[in-house]
């Protein structure tokens, strides 16, 4: 069994990758800062390291540099992943010895897992992409729904979420509270996914999800829940209600992009 160490200070993000990689049959350990990651790698001797570059204690670049300075880790597979706006740091990671560089915002968790599988199975030759088939017949396939319902009583959060999602190529419908969102959903079920705050006037996010789960036409719409509440019971209640992704506030755009891509990847499943 291949061993993987994930060094990522966002425990929710790290947990997502751990869950997906364990499902592929890998043994996975997590460290939440650079020094802890370096110690863990020295102890477990993994086959691959997935490391963020922006870390407390030691940066990802410092960890990579220290690993490459040890003979036993000269050939260790190291994937450096970080926000795509950190171009300078990504280039520095390449210079100090990262095996592969990945921009978080440009890859879904599933895509990153596939890259890890490719690196750990180098003898498997990827199939070449097939040439697209050309046809003179007009297509009649319906375009997939790309509408997202965003519900939050904070106008600044609505603006940030809307802007981020629109840049991903999706259409956004917003509501200021759960009651308004319920009215929208009662008359319109054509949404690919929803992004709801937890604490809102009139109807909270988990209750809105519970309403959706009672309606046949709404129950398969996946929902991301977001909140500044640190109580773990809130997260548990959200998942019990039917949320598929959870993101704590405050969050940066790169994290929101990654979580959103994970959300839409579950749509229709």
| Angle between the N-to-C axes of helices 253-265 and 11-23, in degrees from 0 to 180, rounded to the nearest 10 | 30
Beta bridge partners of 65: none
The CA distance from 61 to 52, in Å, is 9
In what side-by-side order are the strands of the sheet with 3-7?
27-31, 3-7, 48-52, 77-82, 100-103
Quote the pLDDT of residue 16.
Answer: 78
Mean pLDDT of 28-50: 94
**Residue 151, class by beta-carbon neighbours within 10 Å (0-12 exposed, 13-18 middle, 19+ buried)?**
buried
The CA distance from 53 to 65, in Å, is 12
Nearest 10 degrees: Cα torsion 46, 47, 52, 58: 40
Quote the pLDDT of residue 126.
Answer: 43
First to last CA, the chain: 29
pLDDT of 50-86, one tens digit each? Answer: 998 888 889 999 999 999 999 999 889 999 887 654 5
The CA distance from 211 to 150, in Å, is 16
Mean pLDDT of 211-223: 87
Domain positions in the chain are: 3-120, 147-265
Cβ(223)–Cβ(194) below 8 Å: yes
16: nearest Cα among 124, 90, 107:
107
Quote the pLDDT of residue 180.
Answer: 93
The CA distance from 18 to 11, in Å, is 10
Q: 3-state DSSP call for residue 148?
A: strand
Highest mean pLDDT among 38-42, 208-212, 265-269: 38-42
Outline where DSSP puts E strands in the chain.
3-7, 27-31, 48-52, 77-82, 100-103, 147-151, 171-175, 193-197, 223-227, 245-248
Quote the pLDDT of residue 15.
Answer: 81
pLDDT of 160-203, one tens digit each? Answer: 999 999 988 999 999 999 999 999 999 888 999 999 999 998 99
Mean pLDDT of 211-219: 86
151: nearest Cα among 98, 102, 209, 109:
209
Residue 235 banded pLDDT, cuts 50, 70, 90: confident
The CA distance from 62 to 131, in Å, is 43
The CA distance from 69 to 54, in Å, is 20
Mean pLDDT of 2-29: 87
pLDDT of 89-143, one tens digit each? Answer: 778 888 899 998 887 666 777 788 888 888 888 644 444 444 444 444 444 444 5
Q: 3-state DSSP call for residue 149?
A: strand
pTM of the model: 0.55
Quote the pLDDT of residue 268.
Answer: 59
Q: Which CATH superfamily is domain 3-120 in?
A: Response regulator (3.40.50.2300)
**For residues 146 and 104, which has the higher predicted lDDT (pLDDT)?**
146
- Decide yes or no: CATH 3.40.50.2300 for domain 147-265: yes
């Amino acid at each position: 069994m291949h061993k993987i160490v994930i060094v990522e200070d966002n425990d929710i993000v790290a947990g997502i990758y751990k869950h997906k990689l364990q499902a592929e049959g890998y043994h996975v350990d997590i460290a939440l800062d650079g020094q802890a990651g370096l110690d863990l790698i020295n102890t477990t001797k993994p086959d691959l390291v997935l490391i963020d570059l922006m870390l407390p204690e030691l940066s990802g670049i410092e960890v990579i540099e220290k690993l490459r300075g040890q003979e036993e880790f000269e050939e260790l597979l190291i994937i450096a992943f970080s926000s795509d706006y950190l171009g300078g740091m990504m280039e520095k990671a390449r210079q100090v010895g990262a095996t592969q560089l990945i921009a978080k915002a440009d890859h879904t968790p599933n895509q990153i897992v596939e890259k890890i599988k490719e690196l750990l199975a180098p003898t498997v030759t990827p199939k070449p992409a097939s040439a697209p088939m050309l046809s003179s017949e007009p297509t009649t396939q319906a375009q997939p729904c790309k509408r997202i319902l965003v519900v939050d009583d904070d106008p600044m959060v609505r603006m940030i979420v809307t802007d981020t999602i629109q840049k991903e190529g999706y259409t956004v419908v917003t509501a200021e509270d759960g009651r308004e969102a319920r009215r929208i959903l009662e008359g319109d079920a054509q949404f690919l996914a929803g992004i709801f705050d937890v604490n809102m006037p009139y109807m909270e996010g988990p209750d809105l999800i519970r309403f959706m789960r009672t309606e046949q036409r709404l129950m398969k719409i996946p929902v991301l829940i977001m909140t500044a509440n640190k109580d773990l019971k809130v997260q548990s209640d959200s998942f019990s209600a039917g949320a598929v992704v959870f993101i704590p506030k405050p969050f940066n755009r790169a994290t929101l992009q990654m979580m959103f891509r994970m959300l839409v990847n579950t749509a229709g499943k």
